[in-house]
Amino acid sequence: MHKRPFGRTGWQVSEIGFGGWAIGGEWGSVSDQDAEAALHAALDHGVSFLDTADVYGNGRSERLIARVLKARGKGDVTVATKAGRKIQPHVSAGYTPAVLEKFIDDSLRNLELQALDVVQLHCPPFEVYYRPEIFEALDRQVAAGKIRAYGVSVEKVEQAIKALDYPIASARQSCCSISPGEETSPSSHACRSPAGCSRESCAPTASSARTTIARSTVTAKHSMWARPSPAYPSTWDCKPSKRCARWRRRVRRWRNSPCAGSSCSTRSLQ
């Protein structure tokens, strides 16, 4: 398993990561036994980067990761979690230093860690990027020893670029595609800047075709138009439309490409 530098941290992480959304159980029923087996398989094959979030199964994904790492030892495994989607309604005003500290404390308990490796703001409203006090609060959490680094989960180019005004370690792109001949990830452009950060691609095959280790599969299949997630109803509830037809065509192109079933379809850090 090849490794790459993780942003400004000086850490080395596997270039293929394990996404912990599915083991939270929101894409269908996943037993603890199957979820743990998937995590063990990933770690046995050299994966050293695990991505999760506090809303994945309301902490279940974090707790499963904690159980597996406790059984085998954390070693050099880097765990990145996310915070902010519990805020309802999900608006900028809901992001406060006190709220973020509570989310961080909850994740510390779930993951059974003294310090979180990486905390990413979970697709925050665009206004949050123009509130430096939020990022200063994360700096204080680093100084307090509760987190080691922080980043953002972004959906737009502007968000990734604006986030580089702050000392982030990573930018996670939601629902990007890295199909051959395509470059659709906003964070890929931002992370080429001299400031530097790591890019973690979410759903690199558009959450369709066969799920792979990067999307934390167990053995299930899912598609974004057939199985919407309750965590992102507005994003994933894709009814028959021209938009869905475009996704289906993209999936067909990917399935017929040389990348289908190979590691180039599952790279998590670029």
Separation between Cα atoms, residue 154 and residue 124, nearest integer Å: 8
Structure-block tokens of residue 168: 């982030």
**At residue 226, what is the residue type?**
A
Structure tokens at 91: 């608006």
Long-range contacts of 194-198 (CB under 8 A, 24+ apart): 195/164, 196/7, 196/8, 197/7, 197/8, 197/151, 197/163, 197/164, 197/168, 197/169, 197/170, 197/171, 198/4, 198/5, 198/6, 198/7, 198/13, 198/151, 198/169, 198/170, 198/171, 198/269
**Phi, psi (deg, nearest 5) at residue 111:** -85, -5
Identify the active-site residue in 56, 95, 129, 150: 56
Q: Which residues contact 140 (CB under 8 A, 6 or more apart)?
A: 97
Among residues 46, 53, 109, the alpha carbon closest in space to that of 229 is found at 53
56 is catalytic: yes
Q: Do residues 77 and 45 lie in contact, with contact meaning Cβ atoms separated by under 8 Å?
A: no
112: left (phi over 0), alpha (psi -120 to 50) or beta: left
Task: Name the amino acid, one letter, at 193.
Answer: S
Strands, DSSP E only, in 112-258? 116-122, 147-154, 170-173, 198-201
Using DSSP, state whether 177 is helix, strand or coil.
Answer: strand
Give me the active site residues, please.
56
